[in-house]
């Protein structure tokens, strides 16, 4: 089947915030904030903040005495973030070129954005630069796709229906899911970096909701398949993802993360 690009995506940032955040990202905010030891009065930077799932968790912990900043390269995501009633300083920018002075933040955090950064090692170097001496780092990425069995099944279904290129779009969020490689990428900036695996899961209201969300996502299927192809994909996914469907119709499976933690030498 020929894959065609189509301008079918409306407000992908709102779809992300409405669907992906409750299905997956919101539950990780407190985990990553805790891994960075975020506490009252801290100055915190959230890199690749998206619509603010982790940023809001950090703001809650830093409290009114603290100062939390979110940075993301996508202005649409930031527009959704800025509409939230929270005292956060939102900035448009890239992880590899942070527009902040040296030694500005007590903690730097990031969840599920580093895998879309062009130069990961450079991003870690920038994180170190903006941390104060003794500052803490916590960065979460998805483990290998094989550890998220529902997405592994979906990627192989996409291979069969539309070709490997489309299947690989579903694999893209998992490209840093190798603990040894991730540790090596962080080590130049943070020689003491540790990588730990933390169990997690994802849950969507239905298989249809999962496919519709991925179809609206500019980082995975957005623009790669048209509406008819998405309908065909949903029909087949209802069958292939049946082992992960619960009695209430929701679809859920494990989806662990790798979390890099480190401190900047004092």
- The per-residue pLDDT for range 194-239, each reduced to its tens digit, is 999 999 999 999 999 999 988 887 777 878 888 899 999 999 999 9
**What average pLDDT does the structure give for the chain?**
93
Residue 8: the pLDDT is: 41
- State mean pLDDT over 154-182: 96
Confidence category of residue 96, pLDDT binned at 50, 70, 90: very high
User: Does 73 have pLDDT greater than 50?
Assistant: yes
pLDDT(5) > 50: no
**3-17, 18-32, 146-160, 241-255: segment of lowest average pLDDT:** 3-17
Mean pLDDT of the region 122-147? 98
Look up the CATH number of domain 12-263: 3.40.50.150
pLDDT at 216: 82
pLDDT higher than threshold 70 for residue 186:
yes
The mean-pLDDT minimum among 4-18, 133-147, 165-179 falls in 4-18
Least confident window among 3-7, 121-125, 190-194, 207-211: 3-7
pLDDT at site 188: 93
Q: Would you say residue 115 has pLDDT above 70?
A: yes
DSSP assignment of 44-76 equals EEEET-TTSHHHHHHHHHHTTTSEEEEEES-HH
- Which whole number is the average pLDDT over 149-161? 97
Average pLDDT (80-101) is 95
pTM: 0.92
**pLDDT score of 10:** 53
What is the pLDDT confidence band of residue 3, given thresholds at 50, 70 and 90? very low
């Amino acid at each position: 089947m020929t894959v065609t690009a189509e301008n079918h995506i409306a407000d992908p940032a709102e779809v992300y915030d409405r669907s992906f955040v409750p299905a997956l990202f919101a539950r990780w905010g407190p985990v990553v904030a805790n891994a960075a030891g975020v506490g009252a009065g801290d100055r915190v930077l959230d890199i690749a903040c998206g619509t603010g799932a982790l940023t809001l968790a950090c703001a809650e912990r830093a409290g009114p005495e603290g100062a939390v900043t979110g940075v993301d390269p996508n202005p649409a995501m930031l527009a959704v973030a800025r509409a939230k009633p929270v005292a956060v300083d939102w900035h448009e920018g890239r992880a590899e070129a942070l527009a902040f002075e040296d030694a500005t933040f007590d903690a730097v955090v990031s969840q599920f954005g580093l895998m879309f950064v062009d130069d990961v090692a450079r991003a870690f170097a920038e994180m170190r630069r903006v941390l104060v001496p003794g500052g803490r780092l916590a960065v979460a990425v998805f483990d290998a796709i094989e550890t998220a069995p529902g997405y592994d099944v979906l990627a192989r279904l996409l291979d069969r229906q539309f070709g490997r290129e489309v299947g690989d779009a579903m694999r893209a969020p998992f490209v840093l899911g190798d603990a040894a490689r991730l540790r090596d990428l962080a080590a130049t900036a943070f020689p003491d970096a540790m990588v730990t695996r933390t169990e997690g899961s994802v849950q969507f209201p239905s298989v249809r909701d999962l496919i519709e969300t991925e179809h609206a996502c500019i980082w995975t299927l957005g623009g790669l398949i048209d509406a008819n192809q998405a309908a065909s994909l949903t029909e087949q996914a209802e069958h292939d993802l049946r082992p992960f469907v619960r009695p209430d119709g929701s679809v859920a499976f494990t989806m662990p993360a790798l979390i890099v933690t480190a401190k900047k030498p004092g």
